[in-house]
A and B are shown apart, each in its own frame.
Chain A
Amino acid sequence: NAGVTQTPKFQVLKTGQSMTLQCAQDMNHEYMSWYRQDPGMGLRLIHYSVGAGITDQGEVPNGYNVSRSTTEDFPLRLLSAAPSQTSVYFCASRTITRRNGYTFGSGTRLTVV
């Protein structure tokens, strides 16, 4: 049981490049979310999903796309990277039963130059 797995751990992109951050969970969790963590701003919700085929926007969705074709995977796509997207990205998942809270991945540190 690996929990929530994120790849890559580190990435450097040039402005305008696109890429996909991968997130997979093996706990059969229905809910999955993507957050970005920036100094002094805490964690802000980018997109979330309540099940396969269902996604919705969070607080800061602009410049990001998601899809949820399977229960296990929830990739985050950067369409055209900008320096403002330099951040640490965390994926998280949970069951419908809220009481256990979210389980987080180890994060992807992204730098856009």
Chain B
Amino acid sequence: AQRVTQPEKLLSVFKGAPVELKCNYSYSGSPELFWYVQYSRQRLQLLLRHISRESIKGFTADLNKGETSFHLKKPFAQEEDSAMYYCALMGNEKLTFGTGTRLTIIP
């Protein structure tokens, strides 16, 4: 079975401070991991995929197979980063989501 755990339901960070959203996964095979973002009442948008190792909107995420983690990081939070963030794992042709973390940036 595949599982994604996001331990923080809510996270508040001051503008300009670093952000880290935690994600841990459980999967017996070789995982493909993603971060999705959902702004208020909008559709989910793909933010990052671990394969591409890219930085989008200043966010990065590194896959740590030893710790089975895929934490999302940004060095300096901006007000427009306030949103719901979901970590997701692609395995056995299914995309499994964590329960999400609501990030609020305090001005």
A interface residues (Cβ-Cβ under 8 A, vs B)? 31, 33, 35, 40-45, 48, 50, 58-59, 90, 92, 98-107
Are A101 and B96 closer than 8 Å at their CB atoms?
no
The majority secondary structure among interface residues of chain B is strand
With most chain A CB atoms within 10 A of its CB, the pick from B9, B42, B86, B93 is B93
B contact residues around A99 at 8 Å (CB): 32, 49, 51-52
**A41 to B97 alpha-carbon distance, docked (Å):** 9
- Number of CB contacts from chain A to chain B under 8 A: 54
Q: Which of A40, A48, A103 contacts B93 (CB 8 A)?
A: A48
Using known A-B contacts A41-B99, A42-B86, determine if residue A102 contacts B93 with beta carbons closer than 8 Å. no
Are A101 and B49 closer than 8 Å at their CB atoms?
yes
Q: Which of A33, A45, A59, A101 contacts B34 (CB 8 A)?
A: A101
B contact residues around A50 at 8 Å (CB): 93
Q: List 23 A-B contacts (CB under 8 A).
A: A33-B94, A33-B95, A40-B99, A42-B6, A42-B86, A42-B97, A43-B86, A44-B97, A45-B96, A59-B96, A92-B44, A98-B32, A98-B90, A99-B49, A99-B51, A99-B52, A100-B46, A100-B49, A101-B34, A101-B36, A102-B95, A105-B43, A106-B42
